[in-house]
């Protein structure tokens, strides 16, 4: 679970602070439900929670629960930064698809074509893996990322810097798997391909192609910095009884791909822009939404979910529909998000504690928040 990144239209109404603060007179039900759902997450033992939903008319509701700092009791900021973690895979996928739309690469290009000799050994063969398979996690490449499972390992590893070449080489020490398998290393390779095709690092392409055009000035690549901008909640990892550790300060294992921080506002606006067609031509958007079944832990985390190209489709059972998302989890921060098919309704919930003892309960409660926000009474009214 270590590895779970402004629309140019002004929002017409101010955010509604719902954590014991103000509730919208026009729509008390959805705001109250959002508050209840954040409190349910806090009740599981998650130290801090912030959530934001946006309706079709741009109206926002925000709720927080818990504390941003277990030592001081500081309240959770509704605009706090958090690590984007694997949600940044959607950013990478958007850039790859934009480059395809420009004719600068093809999804059917092989890894060997762009990165000769990089994917080789123990049955791994870059000449048989396309960029599409990397994006879709069907490349067979196994992860072997450094990580921590105890407090001692966290303190030992938190400031270590790992290069892309090192991470890929570690993966090449393992034989490939068959079928769908989530692969962070696949996105390490995609970052390397973007740099080859565009002539600049992937994080620069993401900034210029996605963030600046949308005015997402609170989504930032921090690289090898172990800290986050302020304000932010302290991040915690619950390893077990007596072992709740502040893990806020650390360098992401794959800092090129996972070194992004954002806010609930920016993440909402990014997914709304993507699903409303503002970032990709229709053909590339259709390719992104061409899904396959997931397996293993992903099947447990996303019941009924399917994976496209850097984008996950999940069912909305209570309103007989579906939504698009890509959650992220890294360094104590776990974030779930969701946006409707047309991009008009969205929600993001960020938790500043990873409960290793209650992982599935935490996931299910956060997924319930997404479901309520996208299917509740507010869904039609915004």
286: CB partners within 8 A, 6+ apart: none
**pLDDT > 60? residue 243:** yes
Q: Give the pLDDT confidence of 206-219 residue by residue, as tens digits.
A: 999 999 999 999 99
Does 116 fall in a domain? yes
**Tell me, what CATH number does 54's domain have?**
3.40.710.10
Q: Is 362 helix (H, G, I), strand (E, B) or coil?
A: helix
Q: What is the mean pLDDT of residues 230-237?
A: 98
Q: Which pair of tokens denotes residue 242? A: 């007596």
pLDDT of residue 29: 67
In whole angstroms, give the CA distance from residue 243 to residue 239. Answer: 5
Instruction: Give backbone dihedrals phi and psi of 361, rounded to 5 degrees, phi first.
Output: -65, -40
Per the structure, the count of domains in the chain is 1
290: CB partners within 8 A, 6+ apart: 308, 309
Whether the predicted model's global pTM rises above the 0.85 cut: yes
Does 10 fall in a domain? no
**CA distances in angstroms from 309 to 55, 60, 131, 196, 285, listed in the order given:** 26, 28, 10, 20, 9
In whole angstroms, give the CA distance from residue 236 to residue 24. Answer: 32
**Residue 139 exposure: Cα atoms within 13 Å on the Cβ side:** 36
Does 4 fall in a domain? no
pLDDT of residue 18: 35
In whole angstroms, give the CA distance from residue 179 to residue 140. Answer: 7
Does 350 fall in a domain? yes
Does 256 fall in a domain? yes
Burial class for 365, CB neighbours closer than 10 Å (0-12, 13-18, 19+): buried
- Is there a contact between 318 and 370 (Cβ–Cβ < 8 Å)? no
Q: Which pair of tokens denotes residue 45? A: 């033992």
In whole angstroms, give the CA distance from residue 354 to residue 363. Answer: 10
**pLDDT > 50? residue 61:** yes
The average confidence (pLDDT) of the chain is 91
161: CB partners within 8 A, 6+ apart: 224, 251, 255
Element (H, E) at 40: helix 28-43
pLDDT of residue 354: 97
Q: What is the mean pLDDT of residues 195-203?
A: 97
Does 382 fall in a domain? no
169: CB partners within 8 A, 6+ apart: none
Residue 126 pLDDT class (50, 70, 90 cuts): very high
Q: Give the pLDDT confidence of 75-94 residue by residue, as tens digits.
A: 999 999 999 999 999 999 99
List the domain range (segments joined by +) for residue 103. Answer: 16-375
**pLDDT > 80? residue 4:** no
pLDDT of residue 28: 39
In whole angstroms, give the CA distance from residue 154 to residue 156. Answer: 5
Lowest model confidence (mean pLDDT) among 24-28, 75-79, 108-112, 150-154: 24-28
- Is there a contact between 160 and 146 (Cβ–Cβ < 8 Å)? yes
pLDDT of residue 376: 79
Does 2 fall in a domain? no
String of b and e for 260-280 (b: at least 16 CB within 10 Å)?
bbbbbbbbbbbbbbbbbebbb
In whole angstroms, give the CA distance from residue 294 to residue 300. Answer: 9
Burial class for 1, CB neighbours closer than 10 Å (0-12, 13-18, 19+): middle
First CA to last CA distance, the chain: 33
Does 1 fall in a domain? no
pLDDT of residue 377: 54
- Is there a contact between 294 and 325 (Cβ–Cβ < 8 Å)? no
Q: Give the pLDDT confidence of 248-304 residue by residue, as tens digits.
A: 999 999 998 889 999 999 999 999 999 999 999 999 999 999 999 999 989 999 999
Q: How many angstroms from the chain centroid is the CA of residue 131?
A: 20
């Amino acid at each position: 679970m270590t590895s779970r990144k402004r629309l140019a239209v002004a929002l017409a109404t101010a955010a509604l602070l719902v954590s014991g603060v103000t509730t919208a007179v026009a729509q008390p039900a959805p705001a109250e439900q959002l508050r209840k759902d954040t409190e349910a997450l806090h009740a599981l033992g998650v130290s801090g929670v912030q959530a934001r939903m946006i309706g079709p008319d741009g109206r926002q509701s925000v709720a927080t629960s818990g504390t941003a700092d277990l030592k001081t009791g500081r309240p959770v900021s509704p605009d706090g930064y958090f690590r984007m973690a694997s949600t940044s895979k959607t950013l990478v996928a958007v850039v790859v698809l934009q480059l395809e739309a420009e004719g600068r690469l093809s999804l059917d290009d092989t890894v060997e074509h762009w990165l000769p000799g990089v994917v080789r050994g123990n049955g791994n063969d870059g000449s048989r893996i396309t960029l599409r398979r990397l994006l879709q996690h069907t490349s067979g490449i196994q992860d072997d990322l450094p990580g921590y499972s105890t407090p001692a390992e966290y303190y030992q590893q938190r400031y270590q810097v790992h290069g892309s070449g090192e991470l890929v080489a570690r993966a090449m020490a393992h034989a490939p798997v068959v079928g769908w398998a989530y692969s962070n290393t696949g996105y390490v390779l995609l970052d390397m391909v973007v740099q080859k095709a565009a002539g600049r690092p992937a994080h620069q392409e993401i900034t210029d192609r996605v963030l600046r055009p949308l005015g997402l000035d609170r989504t930032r690549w921090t690289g090898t910095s172990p800290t986050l901008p302020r304000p932010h909640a302290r991040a915690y990892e619950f390893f077990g009884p007596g072992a709740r550790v502040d893990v806020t300060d650390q360098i992401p294992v794959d800092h090129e791909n996972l070194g992004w921080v954002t806010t609930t506002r920016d993440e909402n606006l990014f997914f709304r822009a993507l699903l409303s067609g503002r970032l990709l031509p229709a053909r590339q958007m259709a390719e992104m939404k061409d899904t396959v079944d997931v397996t293993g832990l992903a099947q447990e985390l996303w019941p009924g979910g399917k994976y496209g190209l850097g984008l996950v489709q999940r069912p909305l059972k209570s309103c007989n529909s579906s939504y698009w998302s890509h959650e992220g989890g890294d360094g104590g921060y776990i974030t779930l998000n969701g946006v409707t098919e047309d991009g008009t309704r969205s929600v993001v919930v960020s938790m500043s504690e990873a409960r290793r003892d209650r992982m599935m309960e935490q996931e299910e409660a956060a997924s319930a928040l997404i479901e309520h926000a996208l299917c509740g009474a507010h869904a039609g009214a915004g």
